[in-house]
Amino acid sequence: MQGEMSAAQLQHVRAQGIGEVILAVADVSLAFGGVKALNEVSFDVREHEVRAIIGPNGAGKSSMLNVLNGVYHPQKGVIRLRGREFRDMDPHEAAAMGIARTFQNIALFKGMTVLDNLMTGRNLKMRCSFVEQALWIGRARREEIEHRRTVEEVIDFLEIQHIRKTPVGRLPYGLQKRVELGRALAAEPSLLLLDEPMAGMNLEEKQDMCRFILDVNDHYGTTIVLIEHDMGVVMDISDRVVVLDYGAKIGDGTPAEVRANQAVIDAYLGVAH
């Protein structure tokens, strides 16, 4: 997908751009009533890398993402983001800290246009009070235009100019997923969490989405954590992979290492535990 370079060469080039650990998950355990979703999971994420979380169904991948985002609060363990430690962060704080995400079942605002949905991604950067907005003078007007400009860059990047005034509810599934990515990008996040961004897409759509994800990582330097089922995609675009099974971590390393890990193979083939 990336032209003439071999996979190994590509990985070498990418490894040069990866920085220090910015996110560390330590011994996180999460339970819902009697069901243990996560069992003392620990891993780290380095700046500028693409980190994949994989595992069989029900392994706890979405729960892990929800913990990173503050939607779920783990009973045990801590999350360290750029030196700050927390367990009880709420999603609002997470967003303020530069974490943006997409969802497995698209969480777009169906009543609004594509443009408006993307603009909501800018909400944390908007400073004007509602009174100024009601009067539509000076600062409010300028702010609206300035944010529109940024959002238009995202629209150009994702090639969705032709549908910017279309109500999101009318778009096909693949485009909705792209718009959701756009809304996350509009927030100019430093950490992007993607929950199965390619679920339900055909081959072409997947290729496009891969291209966008890699471009985001290249151009904006955004650190990306993604959950994905398509092994081909995971092996091709991620720098490192975490493997979960029944809420516990069973593998952690480069795609090549994980692919050779017997425990991982057993989990996927369904060998009895």
> Tokens 């995971």 label which residue?
234
Kindly state whether residue 123 participates in binding another protein, applying the rule CB under 8 A: yes
Q: Residue 189, CB half-sphere, CA atoms under 13 Å: how many?
A: 27
Is residue 183 part of the contact set for another protein (CB under 8 A)? yes
Q: Between 143 and 236, name the residue whose CB sits nearer to another protein.
A: 143
Read off the amino acid at residue 23.
L
| Whole-Å CA distances, 49 to 5, 74, 95, 127, 128 | 19, 25, 20, 31, 35
Q: Which ranges constitute the DSSP H helices of 18-166?
A: 61-69, 91-96, 114-120, 130-135, 138-158
> Can you give 72-92 as a three-state secondary structure string?
CCCCEEEEEECCEEECCCCHH
Contacts of 11 (CB under 8 A, 6+ apart): 239, 254
Closer residue to another protein in complex, CB, 185/258: 185
Residue 136 is a binding residue for another protein (CB under 8 A): yes
Dist CA 108 CA 212 (whole Å): 19
Regarding 130 and contact with another protein (CB under 8 A), the answer is yes
Which of 136, 270 has the CB closer to another protein? Answer: 136
Region near another protein per CB under 8 A, out of 45-53, 90-98, 171-179, 217-225: 90-98
Distance of CA 22 to the CA centre of its chain: 15
187 contributes a contact to another protein by CB under 8 A? yes
Secondary structure (3-state) at 107: coil
What minimum distance in Å lies between the beta carbon of 253 and another protein? 30
**What minimum distance in Å lies between the beta carbon of 120 and another protein?**
5
Using rule CB under 8 A, residue 120 touches another protein = yes
Least Å distance between CB 23 and another protein?
A: 18
Bridge partners, 223 (sequence order): 191
Interaction of residue 170 with another protein, rule CB under 8 A: no
Size of the site for another protein (CB under 8 A): 42
Q: How far is the CB of 53 from another protein (least distance, A)?
A: 17
* Positions that interact with another protein (CB under 8 A): 69, 71, 90-92, 94-96, 100-101, 103, 105, 107-112, 116, 119-124, 126, 128, 130, 133-136, 140-141, 144-145, 148-149, 152, 183-184, 187
